[in-house]
Amino acid sequence: MMQPEGSLMSKLTHINEDGDAVMVDVSEKDVTERIATARGSVIMAPDTLALIKQGGVKKGDVLSIAQLAGIMGAKRTPDLIPLCHPLSLTSVKVSLSLDEERSAVDIEATCKLKGRTGVEMEALTAVSTAALTVYDMVKAADKSMQIQDIRLIYKTGGKSGTYQA
């Protein structure tokens, strides 16, 4: 099923001209430093946030475990997202902070490498994995939590240059 020139489908890099899924060939791209940062939040009841802050969660230190989970998630991105390239990440930083006014755990992840393809998916996966870990660790206290606003906020490197949200 050939896609018309200029159609949305013809602009998608993981779909070929026949509409089949493909892993993008990056062999001709230049090796550059690539950095991506993503953010997201877990919104919860104030009592749940207080439980995290006080270290009263039976499963352990929520923020430390979620931070580690985010780093591990970034490293496992190609196992989770079809067609993502396995990458040699040079750095993964995940930070979690408490926002008492919004009753939220805010998460930010930055991934880096020198390579032929970007690290946006790794940063987004790190935030998603950390958020899911926060949810898992305190779901017994608060099943109404919401994971919100996971998004790319910055990327640089490669042909498309810099993006800043």
- Per-residue HEC secondary structure of the chain comes to CCCCCCCHHHHCCCECCCCCECCCCCCCCCCEEEEEEEEEEEECCHHHHHHHHHCCCCCCCHHHHHHHHHHHHHHCHHHHCCCCCCCCCCEEEEEEEEECCCCEEEEEEEEEEEECCCCHHHHHHHHHHHHHHHHHHHCCCCCCCEEEEEEEEEEECCCCCCEEC
Averaged pLDDT, 96-110:
98
pLDDT value of position 22: 79
Q: What percent of the chain has pLDDT over 90?
A: 71
Supply the residues annotated as catalytic: 136
Averaged pLDDT, 48-75:
92
Q: What percent of the chain has pLDDT over 70?
A: 92
Give me the count of residues in the chain.
Answer: 165
pTM recorded for the entire structure = 0.88
Residue 7 pLDDT exceeds 70: no
Q: Note the pLDDT tens digit of each residue in 67-98.
A: 999 999 999 999 999 888 999 999 999 999 99
pLDDT value of position 6: 53
Averaged pLDDT, 138-153:
96
Of residues 77 and 58, the one with the higher pLDDT is 77
Task: Collect all residues with Cβ–Cβ distance below 8 Å to 15 and sequence separation of at least 6.
Answer: 3, 9, 21, 22
Residue 23 pLDDT exceeds 90: no
Residue 55 pLDDT exceeds 80: yes
